[in-house]
Structure 1
């Protein structure tokens, strides 16, 4: 296939426009560098009338808002999902990993829950604590200045709590708990579980003229038309463009590989334009991969040459290995006290107003790493259906619920807002035998070899999930609730969601000082090609019991500062 080469030479080519790519775009362009951003999906602006789905009613969709088009509902802002037509991936026999991809400007940051947590000091040094996995080559103090900058630039609400491994930051005022959340606080206190105001990157107070303030529509998964919540496009890329940055966007462009010269140094990338199906090449002095942990690993493994026969950056054989996702388990309960509620608008922000950080000492438990808990419930706008399963209530409260006509209408009013839920999100141990590799027999519709996954849970994660369900029941009991469904047993992996379903995957291009055991150094720079950097979740050595986005943003900013410094010193 003939590759059409662009005549431009960029200072930096950034592949991917999510959290890491967006931050790199802002920092590098504002440093005066000419930047190309290559994104696999289309341009996206949630304020554009033709793309806006915020404040639309379910019946405005031909599918009443159901998930037949997108996994989280027809109006969800994530263009993609676990399955994308023409872009398959495979699983090795006996293993499973469900890979979520969001292909659009801003990537998954348009959709995510916006729980914005710093990793704590222990999260960077867990091997020193429990002997499992590896320590990061950097510590909390290396990242703290960048967490501070991210807090101030993007905005995050929360409260000062002085919890040792749950570092405080610079917080906007948090919203007050809603009624069902007050019940969760009551249940948590009875169960001895720590509960604090949540920490979400949603503006409860104006921080600049470009962004509005949350007006409590509770639809952050649709992306915000007033830019009150954090998305990479609205908060990083668009402001960088307005500031006069030299930024060229290449959307609907599927990167095949990083191109290298005879010395093994990167010279640019090749990509397939989805619209004309032609292959193009961009030339650049520095390449920054931010396509997501698995997509960046795929690009590196497909970037084979005489100098990099096993794939770019893979002289250690570690690219794709140590893949790990957060654990996840959930449970629902019926709260009799919340029946027959007066109906009013209590939407709030697009997420919970409270949060349960990890509160126990793993040395006293039969699993090594912690988890946090997220809550759901309330009287938000109903999605497809009306918020509870009548069969569940029939079975567990001994009362016939639902039916037809007036009885159905009466029961909807009676029970609406009385069903709530808890979800645990925990840290699993990064293992070498959980990995992605190139499938030798399968390509996507663009002719690019696809990934094959090898992934299993261990007893560490199963025991953690069992503990989650014990805790769910304790909290629900303290709320005066009736737990719905039966507690899953060992034959069901104690209710663990399939690997990949929590969409927190990291670790495929792990960071380390020893190039024999890692892919990038402490500045996320390839050991094998010093003008290639990775700023997504791939370099994570371990995940922590926290969502990864705030750490991706902080590390991307840190790496971008390093790139500017190295360019000034003519080291790259």
Structure 2
């Protein structure tokens, strides 16, 4: 087996890995990027104009395609052939793996909300969880750079949960839909604001990517590059420098170290030939996703690292968090039988409900810490395999009722912050291995009362808004039953968290592991907390900032 030499090896091609590759190659550094999944080209593989009516099961999901037949995930999901994982007794955790070039950026929601000063210093405010080892002002300029590079539409709102971008950074948002305006009017009566959702979808052309023409669901991927994914942006940009090499179907087995415990490279298995290869590099960056990166570290034991690599703090795999999730919806009488027109937009909600409760929490009026937001589902959309509504009868009367209620439903999807707890973590299951002989991850999971109380508050709030809109909602479900499973929102973070001390964290603020100076983590594993906002914008922002710092360290000869 040949021993190759590279400046930097990156594991993972999603938000963190691709951004790190872009930033490093732009600085003239030679990068090799490994992806465990197959190659993927959205320019040729995206079914943008195919109708649900033409797809198997009318486009609905199944065990192979969780989000429908046209979902951009080609080989991944919560169930991946030949790649099991296990859960401890009494735990129920769902682990999503994308297994494709570009990772989850091919099919994510593109919601791009900045974390705020409240989010980075939560422990200082309420004594729970952990603070990040920097302040919002330190990362704000990097948010600007990332938003401008990626292309994020939205507006500055002045709300305390939505920090403003620098002038000229955000692209214009699409106009709100009629149901969203109705939600805004109802919520305003309750003292709850709505705001344009910030989304990584182009409303103006950017570099060689076209603006969105509001025709296909973004979850299918985007062949014109309007909906951000690394396969149409960061990866091609990095390749254009001539400094990036990519190897797909490369399942990394372990990170290699020498007798002194310093990282020397890694070992991977070529999934197409089942052969193992060793690579050497000056620096290794893990960006394989929070749980996959932690799995690699825990599987990389050596005499110098008997508990797993970079795990002297015993925090690798700990502090596992996901976003809370729950949903509620109803038919709105005012929206029945309204005129039909194209209401597609950029497919996701144009308006949403940001967290408005910081002041109430400061006054001690809420029985849970941190916050949540609502994503709104509404409007006319392409028919699929089901029609919402409790319809009776048959024939013309049934058809008329279905038509009357088409576009008349409004739903709220709650996404909230989870705090770390001792019952939520991952470890290695030494009794189970994947197809390539690599021990698998084992999950432990339990929501705390903080999250249960949060969901109860959110369900009641959503019911209040729907009732104000004239809907009949009925009895609310118990929050313990309404809350979705751990991992189901696909926002898992925290397993290699950053901090100010090697005693209670895995990396410093640059994603550099305390135990190995030439080993970095640049995915959501480094998050010190899990604010209610989608992770991806902050993953990319941290990766840009930290890779920029790393490039300086390499150029100065420190690494």
- Give the TM-score of the pair, scaled to structure 2: 0.96
Determine helix, strand or coil for the equivalent of 1:102: coil
Residue in structure 2 matched with residue 423 of structure 1 by the alignment: 413
Structure 2 distance, partners of 1:194, 1:334, is 22
- How far the C-alpha of 1:545 sits from its partner, in A, is 2.0
Q: Corresponding residue for 1:488?
A: 477
Deviation digits for residues 172-198 of structure 1, max 9, x if unmatched? 111111111111111211222110111
How far does residue 218 in structure 1 lie from its aligned partner after superposition? 4.4
Q: Is 2:345 aligned against 1:348?
A: yes
Q: Residue in 1 aligned with 2:383?
A: 382
| Distance in 2, Cα, partners of 1:53 & 1:265 | 46
Once residues 418 and 547 of structure 1 are traced to their aligned partners in structure 2, the CA distance between those partners, rounded to angstroms, is 27
In structure 2, what is the Cα distance between the partners aligned to 1:118 and 1:220? 21
Cα contact 1:430–1:541 (8 A) shared by 2: no
Query: What SS class does the counterpart of residue 525 from structure 2 fall into?
Result: coil
Note the alpha carbon deviations across 1:41-82, whole angstroms, 9 max, x for none: 11112111xx12211112332332121231000100023111
CA contact (8 A) 1:218 1:351 kept: no
Aligned to 1:52: 46
1:71 to 63, 66, 73: 66
CA offset at residue 403 of structure 1?
Answer: 4.5
1:192-341 → structure 2 map (5 Å cutoff): 192-208=191-207, 210-242=208-240, 244-341=241-338
Q: Distance in 2 between matches of 1:165 and 1:63?
A: 41
1:449 aligns with 2:427: no
Structure 2 residue aligned with 1:397: none
Q: In 1, are the aligned partners of 2:214 and 2:346 still within 8 Å (CA)?
A: yes
Q: How does 1:170-209 map to 2 (within 5 A)?
A: 170-208=169-207
Give the deviation of 1:105 after TM superposition: 0.8
1:165 positional shift: 3.4
Structure 1 residues 246, 403: closer, same or farther in 2, change over 3 A?
Answer: farther
**How many Å separate the matches in 1 of 2:20 and 2:317?**
23
CA–CA separation in structure 2 for the residues paired with 1:257 and 1:226: 37
SS of 2:354's equivalent in the other structure is coil
User: Which is further off, 57-66 or 434-443?
Assistant: 57-66
Of the three residues 164, 171, 184, the one matched with 2:160 is: 164
CA distance in 2, matches of 1:206, 1:537: 29
Q: What is residue 151 of structure 1 aligned with on the other side?
A: 147
- The Cα offsets for residues 307-334 of structure 1, whole Å up to 9 and x where unpaired, read as 1111110111110000001111110111
In structure 1, what is the equivalent of residue 469 of structure 2? 479
What is the 5 A alignment of 1:132-143?
Answer: 132-143=128-139
Deviations 1:128-147 (A, max 9, x none): 10011111111111211110
In structure 1, distance between residues paired with 2:437 and 2:239: 33
In 2, Cα distance between equivalents of 1:403 and 1:448: 55
CA distance in 1, matches of 2:181, 2:503: 51
Say whether 1:81 aligns with 2:77: yes
Stretch deviating more after TM superposition (294-303 or 36-45): 36-45
Aligned partners of 1:486, 1:81: CA distance in 2, in Å?
33
CA RMSD, Structure 1 to Structure 2 (Å): 1.4
